[in-house]
Amino acid sequence: LSIYNANNGQVVIGSDLGDVTGIQPLSGRPQVYVVENGELRNWSTLTDALAPPQQQMDIVGQAVDVKLVD
């Protein structure tokens, strides 16, 4: 996962190396759920970084996609 910040021209490369198979922005919150290399990760759009460990979700098995149900 690479994140390009159009406001400052900076690029951030994610810590989990692998295929990104799902991305879901969260309406009204500065967060994006990303499935990369089979892991579900919570990214902050304010800091362009992974959210703190206590805000990550541990799932059993290999994630493939992520969807938000309104």
Taking the alpha carbons at both ends of the chain, their separation in whole angstroms is 26
Its domain, for residue 6, covers 2-55
Cα–Cα distance for residue pair 59/42, rounded to 1 Å: 13
Instruction: Give a yes or no: residue 63 inside a domain.
Output: no
Cα 30 to the center of its chain, rounded Å: 11
Q: What's the CA gap between 4 and 11, in Å, rounded?
A: 5
Indicate the number of domains in the chain: 1
Distance from chain centroid for Cα 6: 17
Q: Which one has a higher pLDDT value, 57 or 16?
A: 57
Is there a domain that residue 14 lies in?
A: yes
What would the pLDDT profile of 32-48 be if each residue is shown by its tens digit? 999 999 999 999 999 99
pTM as predicted: 0.84
Asked whether residue 22 is assigned to any structural domain, the reply reads yes
Residue 65 lies in a domain: no
